[in-house]
Chain A
Amino acid sequence: MKLTEEQVRYVAGLANLTLTEAEIHQYAHDLSDILTHIDKLNELNTDGVEPMAQVLFAAEETATLREDEPRPCLTNAEALANAPVSGQGYYKVPRVIER
Chain B
Amino acid sequence: MNIPSLTISSVRKGLADRTFSAVELAQEALAFAKAENPKTNAYLTFSDERALAAARAVDAKLAAGEDPGVLAGVPVGVKDVISTRGVRTTCGSKLLEHYIPPYDATAMERLEAAGGVMIGKANCDEFAMGSSNENSAFGPVRNPVALDRVPGGSSGGSAAVVAQGTAVVSLGSDTGGSIRQPASFCGCVGVTPTYGRVSRYGLVAFASSLDHIGPFSRTVADSATVLTAIAGRDSRDATSALHEVQDYAAAMQQPLQGLKIGLPKEYFAGLANETGDRIQAGIEVLKQQGCEIVDVSLPHTEYAIEAYYIICTAEVSANLSRFDGVRFTTRSAKAETLIDMYKNSRGEGFGAEAKRRIMLGAYVLSHGYYDAYYIKAQRVRSLITRDFAQAFEKVDALITPVSPFPAFKLGEKVNDPLQMYLSDIYTITGSLAGIPCMNVPCGTTAEGLPVGMQILTKHFSEDLMFRIAHQYEMSGGFSA
Q: State the A residues within 8 Å of B (CB).
A: 3, 7-8, 11-12, 14-19, 23, 26-27, 30-31, 33-35, 37-38, 40-42, 44, 46, 49-55, 57, 59-60, 63-64, 66, 74, 78-79, 81-85, 91, 93-96
Contact = CB atoms under 8 A, between A and B. Distances in A.
Contacts of A63: 242
B239 A54 contact: yes
A31 B366 contact: no
Query: How many of chain B's residues touch chain A, expressed as a range?
Result: 35 or more
A85 B330 CA distance: 9
B433 A17 contact: no
Contacts of B242: 59-60, 63
A84 B310 contact: no
Contacts of B377: 41
A81 B378 contact: no
B378 A85 contact: no
A74 B330 contact: no
Given A46-B380, A49-B382, A85 B331 contact: yes
Contacts, number: 164
Q: Which of A12, A42, A52 has the most CB of B within 10 A?
A: A52
A83 B194 CA distance: 35
A84 to B, nearest CB: 4
Contacts of A7: 363
Chain B binding surface SS class: helix
Contact of B363 (A11, A37, A91): A11
B344 A18 contact: yes
A57 B241 CA distance: 9
Contacts of B382: 49-52
Contacts of A15: 317, 346, 358-359, 361-362
A99 B433 CA distance: 54
Contacts of A78: 102
Contacts of A34: 309, 360, 417-418, 421
